[in-house]
Amino acid sequence: MTQDEMKKAAGWAALEFVTPGSIVGVGTGSTVNHFIDALGSIKDQIRGAVSSSEASTERLKALGIPVFDLNDISELNVYVDGADEIDGSMAMIKGGGAALTREKIVAAVADQFVCIVDGTKTVDVLGKFPLPVEVIPMAREYVARELSKLGGQPVYREGVITDNGNHILDVHGLAITEPNVLETRINAIVGVVTNGLFAERGADVLLIGTPDGVVRKGG
């Protein structure tokens, strides 16, 4: 089974968490693209979606799924998204696709976060995947120096501008044993928009695509 087939299995399994007649929170990435395709197969049974990126919005609209502005939505019962890494406490590193800020906002509104991954994404300790940090462009080098003081090696993701018009620093070399603490600490650096640690608001349900089927944790 290929990695993409495992992603597809997890993406389609998330349909179980979609309530008929609801608006669904939709993340970003190659695993979520399978979930969007799955949503397309039941589009007549949902009101629509709230999207975490321009890329997901485009894919949703191409399938004829209405996309709502988050400001017009007062509640969202489920948010479905992928992750770059997820640990045993359901804390995640996200932002490999540079959509971390909008993802964190939509996740904050949702009652339930369903994380969909292939079997390569589960880890004991977060940090092998470089931690993305979205920064205001003029603060980039200042924030990089502050991140170095925390023990990481920040690398500017050149050529990438986020949907919010900002830059991304990828922080290498962190072994993140206290993700909640680091999430708060990095977000307190002036010029940081947000970082890719999703620990304060981790996943509630994890669906892992494996060669033996989809393994479920939580929920």
Say whether 103 is catalytic. yes
Under 8 Å between Cβ of 45 and 69: no
**Shortest Cβ 11–ligand 5RP spacing (Å):** 9
Over the window 17 to 56, marking each residue x when it contacts ligand 5RP by CB under 6 A and - when it does not, the resulting string is: ----------xxxxx-------------------------
Contact status: 97 vs ligand 5RP (CB under 6 A)? yes
- The answer to whether 102 contacts ligand 5RP (rule: CB under 6 A) is no
For position 195 contacting ligand 5RP by CB under 6 A, the verdict is no
Q: Give the end-to-end CA distance of the chain in Å, rounded to a whole number.
A: 26
CB atoms within 10 A of CB 84: 22
Q: Does 203 bind ligand 5RP (CB under 6 A)?
A: no
Please, what sign has the CA dihedral across residues 118, 98, 39, 114?
A: positive
Q: Are 216 and 206 in contact (CB under 8 A)?
A: yes
> In this structure, what are the phi and psi dihedrals at residue 115, rounded to the nearest 5 degrees?
-95, 130
Nearer to ligand 5RP, 82 or 202 (CB): 82
* CB-nearer residue toward ligand 5RP: 97 or 202: 97
Q: Which is closer to ligand 5RP, CB of 31 or CB of 195?
A: 31
User: Using the rule CB under 6 A, which residue among 39, 56, 84, 144 binds ligand 5RP?
Assistant: 84
The residue annotated as part of the active site, out of 85, 103, 134, 183, is 103
DSSP string covering 12-70: HHGGGGPPTT-EEEE--SHHHHHHHHHHHTTGGGS-EEEESSHHHHHHHHHTT--EE-G
Binding range to ligand 5RP, per CB under 6 A, among 70-78, 81-89, 168-176, 208-216? 81-89
Strand order in the sheet with 85-86: 85-86, 92-93, 197-198
- Measured from the CB atom, the residue of 47 and 119 that comes closer to ligand 5RP is 119
In the complex with ligand 5RP, the residue whose CB is nearer, 95 or 179, is 95
95 near ligand 5RP, judged by CB under 6 A: yes
Closest of 185, 203, 205 to residue 194, by C-alpha: 185
Cα distance between residue 57 and residue 103, in whole Å: 13
DSSP string, 62-95: HTT--EE-GGG-S-EEEEEE--SEE-TTS-EE--
Q: How many residues bind ligand 5RP (CB under 6 A)?
A: 17
Among 49, 59, 79, 94, binds ligand 5RP (CB under 6 A): 94
**Binding site residues, ligand 5RP, CB under 6 A:** 27-31, 81-84, 94-100, 103
Q: Which residues are catalytic?
A: 103
